[in-house]
Amino acid sequence: MIVVAAGRGTRLGGTPKQFRELAGVPVLLRAIRPFASHPSVICTVVALPPESVAAPPEWLRSLAGDRLRFVAGGAERGDSVRAALAALPAACTVVLVHDGARPLVSRETIDAVIAVAAGGSGAVAAVPLGDTLKMAEEGEGVSIVERTIPRRRLWRAQTPQGFPRELLERAAESAAADGVQGTDDAELVERIGGRVELVPDQPTNIKLTTPADFTLAEALLRAAP
């Protein structure tokens, strides 16, 4: 299991978003817990900013051990994933990758992604698009609609994403050799011809990027049973 949390949260400023509190609990801790407590997860490797590996927050340092390890992430997502892959025990033959800024993932989604990846395919937690999509032509201070894109068959990719380890390693190595940076790990697997299945997820599995996302996540936590 890999949790990518090496970003510095520059869009929010100040403390990296994965270290900020969400309803009194650090975002990264909320993202880690569902995997660390899962019976099928042997080990979780968290890719952190290099300075945080040397001096992690106390709440994170106290959890370190054989089942929770930290590695220094890189400048790009792919660098962080490769570093974390190298730190995973050989017994981890199926690998999940999750964003450290997604603190609301469900157990049902994790189970479904593991099941698909264990069957030999890549798996992507995803939500079908419900909004109308417009492609725009950028003008001087305005965006002009160029055309409407049919939303049928379009999904929004989320995490976790899961893969047979050999497939993910091969995809990551190929991308690094060719200087390719994907926006997610599934894109790299697709690039080498790997099969990737979509696993229906909940729209509540949001990625925290803006202050409004934190407000929404707190509201979701308050509404949870």
pLDDT value at position 178?
97
**7 pLDDT tier (thresholds 50, 70, 90):** confident
Residue 147 belongs to a domain: no
Q: The domain containing residue 111 runs over which residues? A: 2-128+154-223
**11 pLDDT tier (thresholds 50, 70, 90):** low
CA distances from 21 to 31, 101, 144, 209, 214 (A): 12, 11, 39, 14, 9
Residue 181 belongs to a domain: yes
Q: Looking at the 3D structure of the chain, how many domains does it have?
A: 1
In whole angstroms, give the CA distance from residue 96 to residue 88: 11
Residue 50 belongs to a domain: yes
Of 13-17, 39-43, 112-116, 148-152, the range with the lowest mean pLDDT is: 13-17
Q: Give the position of tokens 């379009």.
A: 154
Average pLDDT score over the chain: 94
Per-residue pLDDT for 10 more than 60? no
Residues 6+ apart with CB under 8 A from 194: 121, 122, 163, 167, 171
Residue 137 belongs to a domain: no
Looking at residues 120-143, what average pLDDT do you find? 92
What is the domain-level CATH number for residue 63?
3.90.550.10
Is 0.85 topped by the overall pTM? yes
Per-residue pLDDT for 48 more than 90? yes
8 A C-beta contact, residue 27 and residue 18: yes
In whole angstroms, give the CA distance from residue 209 to residue 76: 17
Residue 168 belongs to a domain: yes
Over the stretch 154-171, which tens digit does the pLDDT of each residue have? 999 999 999 999 999 999
Residue 43 belongs to a domain: yes
**Which stretches of the chain are assigned E, i.e. beta strand?**
2-4, 21-22, 25-26, 44-48, 68-72, 94-99, 122-128, 133-138, 143-149, 155-164, 196-200
Residue 53 belongs to a domain: yes
Over the stretch 60-78, which tens digit does the pLDDT of each residue have? 999 999 999 999 999 999 9
